Amino acid sequence: MLPPGPRVARGTAVRGDQVALRSMELVEGEHILWQGRPSWRAQISYFIVWIPLALLPVIIAGILTANDQDTGLPYYQWLLISLLLVVCVVVFDALRRYSTLYVVTDQRLRVRHGILSRHEQSARFERVQNVEVSQSMMDRLLKVGAVEFDTAGSDQSDAGFRYAGIADPQRLVHIVAQNSRQNPHPHEGL
């Protein structure tokens, strides 16, 4: 069993900074303040659309069978097809959420996307110029949202860090704002 590591803001223990980040190496003296992945609650609208579509084959087969129409396959096969589609929808969502990692350390913001191929972004706190929190009505009910950090000195495609679908976005903004004030002197390098 690994020794307990530092606590992150969302309330779950991280077992060592390097284990949590692996390829996102921390510099000496850098500590994780918050880390997370998109919340499953943020994906409710995704499931509302795709689960019924995945169940459509068995629903149509059931209607046709009830009206003595031939479906071309036995009903249990339509059921298996629909169950397979539901599993694909759930697995796709889980992989999409697992492939995204958001990290805030005491020195910078970090975002990592991808499983087989990876894209990582990092920006120091002193480069953050604007912070925007966006929540739809559904997001507010589910206590999720997106936080976008605009950074200075980047081209438009690389200027923002979007932490999408995170639980309690206001808490993340508070952590970044509080830490930015505590570290007014910029460090050299990334």
pLDDT at 77 over 90: yes
Q: Tell me what the mean pLDDT of segment 112-132 comes to.
A: 89
pLDDT, position 27: 83
Q: Comparing 10-24, 83-97, 112-126, which segment has the lowest mean pLDDT? A: 10-24
pLDDT, position 67: 94
pLDDT, position 165: 93
pLDDT, position 93: 94
pLDDT at 115 over 80: yes
Q: Tell me what the mean pLDDT of segment 114-133 comes to.
A: 89
pLDDT in tens, 86-111: 999 999 999 999 999 999 998 889 99
* 19: confidence class by pLDDT, cuts 50, 70, 90: very low
Helix and strand totals (H; E) in the chain: 5, 7
- What distance in Å separates the CA atoms of residue 127 and residue 133, rounded to the nearest whole number? 18
Of 41, 21, 43, 8, nearest to 167 by C-alpha is 41
Beta bridge partners of 111: 102, 121
pLDDT, position 160: 77
- What distance in Å separates the CA atoms of residue 94 and residue 10, rounded to the nearest whole number? 20
Kind and range of the H or E element at 81? helix 75-98
pLDDT in tens, 151-177: 876 555 556 789 999 999 999 999 988
DSSP state of 8: P
User: Considering the chain, what is the average pLDDT of its residues?
Assistant: 82
pLDDT at 45 over 60: yes
Of the chain, the end-to-end C-alpha distance in Å amounts to 32
